[in-house]
Amino acid sequence: MNPCTSGLWSPQTLLPVQKRQVSSDGTRKLLLGLDDGQSVETVIMSMPKAHTLCLSTQVGCPVGCTFCRTGRSGFVRNLTPDELLAQIRTAGRELHAATGRWPERAVFMGMGEPLLNFRTLLRGLEMLTTARDPHLSWRKILVSTVGIPDRLEELGRSRLALPAISLHAPDQALRDRIMPGASRWPLSELLPVLRRYPLPGRERITVEYILIEGLNDSDGQAEQVFELLAGVRAKVNLIPCNPVPGSPHASPAPQRIEGFARRLRELGLTAFVRRSLGPDILASCGQLRGEESRPPGNASGSATREEQTT
């Protein structure tokens, strides 16, 4: 398929690539510049089943998760609709130039809480699902959110994307500690929305759970997660914690990760452990932008090809 010359994937209004990292596994990470001097990250993941864009909706993030580089660096501002569309277009064209393929999936799992920039998110989803040559099925788009109940309900009615809920803790008290900005939307309000969330066919809600050594990774906590999700058509995506400079959190040992997943499965939940893509290019969100403020020579990853384009 040739590069498009009109519509969403056209070359008009691209964002400048300030920095590009290419992992040995094909994952590409871009730092994209904005007119006011800010920047956002976008990741292009090449997986056997699909080429996927991982998109940002905010510069920084107000939720302040303690395990997240973006959360630890604070919130700057929302992206505008034009900036989001330009980000999608820039990443899509980068993918096409590298592989000859257009995106088959999109996940809003980059910088920011998408439901806090909701109108802009909806605009981006509308463009992705209605673009020419090609567009994405709404069932191939995931919006990762801490779960803002009224907006989650509106997302469900829109049928523009499926949700991925960032749970990360088996109870409210621990969730408040590691996701302080999410305490405004307590689990007691979120879970009823998840139980009645409209899902087509055999689809399920993805529940994301960062596994942090000694904090939320015991078998007893797996049992609490199972009880919490009673009545939710859910599949649990377990994500070993990425190391973040200045954070006390670490990933559990592989045996504990597998033990947590096994306990969930024994109880009847579908649970996967997410494979880490692009580990040699600091693939968790906010790290590339954070690298910009570090002295030269601190970047990691001997297998990484890195290109500074500013």
Q: Could you say which of 23, 27, 57, 70 contacts ligand SF4 (CB under 6 A)?
A: 70
Burial class of 303 by CB neighbour count within 10 A (0 to 12, 13 to 18, 19+): exposed
Q: Could you say which of 65, 86, 167, 236 contacts ligand SF4 (CB under 6 A)?
A: 65
Amino acid at 209: Y
Q: Which is nearer to ligand SF4, 15 or 61 (CB)?
A: 61
State which residue has the least CB distance to ligand SF4. 71
Q: Name the active-site residue from 61, 65, 68, 285.
A: 285
What is the smallest separation between the CB atom of 115 and ligand SF4, expressed in angstroms? 10
Instruction: Extract the tokens encoding 177.
Output: 């500690």
Q: Which is nearer to ligand SF4, 91 or 116 (CB)?
A: 116
What is the smallest separation between the CB atom of 158 and ligand SF4, expressed in angstroms? 21
Q: Which is nearer to ligand SF4, 8 or 32 (CB)?
A: 32
Query: Residue 159 — left, alpha, or beta (φ > 0 → left; ψ -120 to 50 → alpha)?
Result: left
Q: Which is nearer to ligand SF4, 63 or 142 (CB)?
A: 63
Residue 68 among the catalytic residues? no
Encoded one letter per residue, x for contact with ligand SF4 by CB under 6 A and - for no contact, window 229-258 reads: ------------------------------
| Per CB under 6 A, 71 contacts ligand SF4 | yes
Site stretch for ligand SF4 (CB under 6 A), options 96-104, 105-113, 148-156, 272-280: 105-113
Residue 41 among the catalytic residues? yes
| Rounded distance between C-alpha atoms, residue 124 and residue 86, angstroms | 10
- The alpha helices in 162-302, defined as continuous H runs, are 172-178, 187-195, 219-228, 254-267, 287-291
Q: Judging by DSSP bridges, how do beta strands 39-46 and 28-33 pair with one another?
A: antiparallel
Burial class of 228 by CB neighbour count within 10 A (0 to 12, 13 to 18, 19+): buried
Q: Could you say which of 34, 63, 148, 269 contacts ligand SF4 (CB under 6 A)?
A: 63
Q: Could you say which of 22, 68, 121, 244 contacts ligand SF4 (CB under 6 A)?
A: 68
What is the smallest separation between the CB atom of 240 and ligand SF4, expressed in angstroms? 14
Q: Could you say which of 285, 287, 288, 289 contacts ligand SF4 (CB under 6 A)?
A: 285
Helix (H) or strand (E) run with residue 219 in it: helix 219-228
CA-based angle 178:120:200, to the nearest 5?
Answer: 75
31 close to 293: Cβ distance less than 8 angstroms: no
What is the smallest separation between the CB atom of 75 and ligand SF4, expressed in angstroms? 9
| Rounded distance between C-alpha atoms, residue 164 and residue 144, angstroms | 4
| Per CB under 6 A, 121 contacts ligand SF4 | no
Amino acid at 77: R
Q: Which are the contacts of 219, defined by CB distance < 8 A and separation ≥ 6?
A: 259, 260, 263
Q: Name the active-site residue from 4, 41, 94, 241.
A: 41
Q: Which are the contacts of 2, defined by CB distance < 8 A and separation ≥ 6?
A: none
Question: Annotated catalytic sites, by residue?
Answer: 41, 285
Residues near ligand SF4, by CB under 6 A: 61, 63-65, 68, 70-71, 111-113, 146, 285
